[in-house]
Structure 1
Amino acid sequence: MLQTAAAIIGSSKRLVVLTGAGCSVDAGVPDFRSPSGWWRQINPQTVATVKALEENYELFHAFYSARIRHLKQIVPHKGHEVLSRWEREGRIQLIATQNVDGLHQLAGNVQVKELHGSIRSFRCQRCGRPAEEEAFLAGEACQCGGRLRPNVVLFGEGMDLPQQAWNAARQAIEAADAVLVIGTSLQVSPANQLPYMTKGKLLLINKEETGSEHRFDCCLQGGAEELLLQLDGLFDYQGKRADTTQT
């Protein structure tokens, strides 16, 4: 299967990548859907919500402050660097990501669309005025008195994705000749419908089975970092496809 995936990527002229939480796990970013959970074992679906923002801001603020401070210790892993190199080589047209951590950009990718926003920027919930990270972490209020929040899509806002990012991702996937999905359970709507908008080849990298494997042309089970490094090892330094006829 690794050789098949390499052959598809190597012959692709319009490759689009869709990433989820599993793409960042190898860098040390917790996966909310893991059995152990994280941050005092609190279910994010009860904290990362509009209801919590409006009715339990102390908990909401503590949750996101912990995530932001933890993220300061995180750097992109070698798989992120592979995706950055593939973009520079002209392999990747666009990365659409469900992640809010900004690791693709830190690794050097430029053509990135954040479907669920970014935890690295902030605004007022009431008036929408931009805010600084320091003000949010300090628990300050907006000039209008409103509460500050990260620019992420909260649970309950799932259908209200950033339209520019969504439209760009959809258009790129519709025009793609291959879509590589990395580290997502394909359970979060509407982003989980994006892969099936392509007429090109579909590839999946994920640690666990998603139940949607039958819809893909090639599935690789394992960690994002390890498998991206293995795939990258099948290509030479000029960005040309190496011999993929081996078994």
Structure 2
Amino acid sequence: MGILLKKAAEFIRNSNFTIAFTGAGISVESGIPPFRGELGLWNKYNPEILDLGYYLNHSEDCWVYIREIFYDFFANAHPNKAHLVLAEMEQKGLLKSVITQNIDNLHFEAGNKVVHEFHGNSKKLKCLTCGKVYDANKIDFENLPPRCEADDKILKPDFIFFGEGIPPKAYSNSFSDAEKADVCLIIGSTGEVTPASYVPRAAKEAGATIIEINPEESSFTSSVTDIHLKGKASEIMTELAQELF
């Protein structure tokens, strides 16, 4: 592992444009479970609550579970060492942007400034009628469902539900950065969710070196990965920081 870490650090130091692509695995150590897999949230909750069509017709019922998952449970999560190292890399000029599948806001909380949120952000709520956006921290979730002050319509979390498209700006910025990248760090993503999983592949096609940080092999490992640093995100990023800083 030591040789691979040194090699990865060398690629990053010599890169003019490094990006990070992050998935659920980077936030698991912050106490946020993934949606899929053996311990995933969809083993406990019906994914239908985040289906746009179902939600529009059953908003009040869905909000009981949405609050429990995203605003009771997720509220206690804080950035871990992996998030903090990425923020420090950006501050030191070693990282241009983070492209994340996560909706937990932890990259911003860690200190990253350039974050393309491919699936939106749970810390914001939006009125689908008038478009007004609210800070979730200022919403009283004791009174469900939350409603817009302007038109009394039910607010929706500002992240992507099943049946919704990717936010255009996040989509274009993600692929634009991927095509410019010399190095792409994949952290905590298995590569199973599309179209997000196409981002590292676009970077590879454009000539980037792919450094994957995952405890197990993923769909990226045999197809695009050049260096696989096997382990937990916080542990590997801590070791990588020691080589870089």
Q: Please, what TM-score do these two structures have when normalized by structure 1?
A: 0.87
**Is 2:226 aligned against 1:224?**
no
Q: Which has the higher helix share?
A: 2
Shift of 1:72: 2.1
Which residue in 2 is equivalent to 1:146? 153
User: Match of 2:113, SS?
Assistant: coil
1:168, 1:147 → 2: CA distance? Answer: 30
Equivalent runs, 1:78-227 vs 2, <5 Å: 78-133=81-136, 134-135=138-139, 137=141, 138=143, 139-142=145-148, 143-157=150-164, 160-198=165-203, 199-214=207-222, 215-227=224-236
Shift of 1:39: 8.0
Shift of 1:141: 3.0
What's the Cα RMSD here? 1.9
User: Match of 1:191, SS?
Assistant: coil
**Is 2:14 aligned against 1:11?**
yes
2:116, 2:135 → 1: CA distance? Answer: 22
Change (3 A) 1:33 1:40: closer
Change (3 A) 1:59 1:220: farther
Q: Please, what TM-score do these two structures have when normalized by structure 2?
A: 0.88
Which residue in 1 is equivalent to 2:64? 62
Give deviations 1:128-148, integer Å, cap 9, x for gaps.
232453547222333434321
C-alpha contact 1:52 1:59 (8 A) present in aligned 2 = no
Change (3 A) 1:5 1:41: same
C-alpha contact 1:136 1:148 (8 A) present in aligned 2 = no
Change (3 A) 1:149 1:136: farther
The more displaced of 33-42 and 89-98 is: 33-42
Specify the code of the residue in structure 2 equivalent to 1:125. L
1:231, 1:178 → 2: CA distance? Answer: 14
Give deviations 1:73-92, integer Å, cap 9, x for gaps.
11111111111110010000
1:183, 1:130 → 2: CA distance? Answer: 29
**Is 2:52 aligned against 1:28?**
no
Change (3 A) 1:2 1:68: same
1:212, 1:84 → 2: CA distance? Answer: 24
User: Unpaired segments of 5 or more residues in structure 2?
Assistant: none
Shift of 1:30: 1.2
1:27, 1:123 → 2: CA distance? Answer: 26
Which residue in 2 is equivalent to 1:235? 244
User: Match of 1:120, SS?
Assistant: strand
Specify the code of the residue in structure 2 equivalent to 1:89. K
**Identical columns (%):** 30
Give deviations 1:18-53, integer Å, cap 9, x for gaps.
11111111111111113023388114x322110331
Change (3 A) 1:51 1:207: farther
The more displaced of 206-215 and 13-22 is: 206-215
**Is 2:81 aligned against 1:72?**
no
Aligned residues: 233
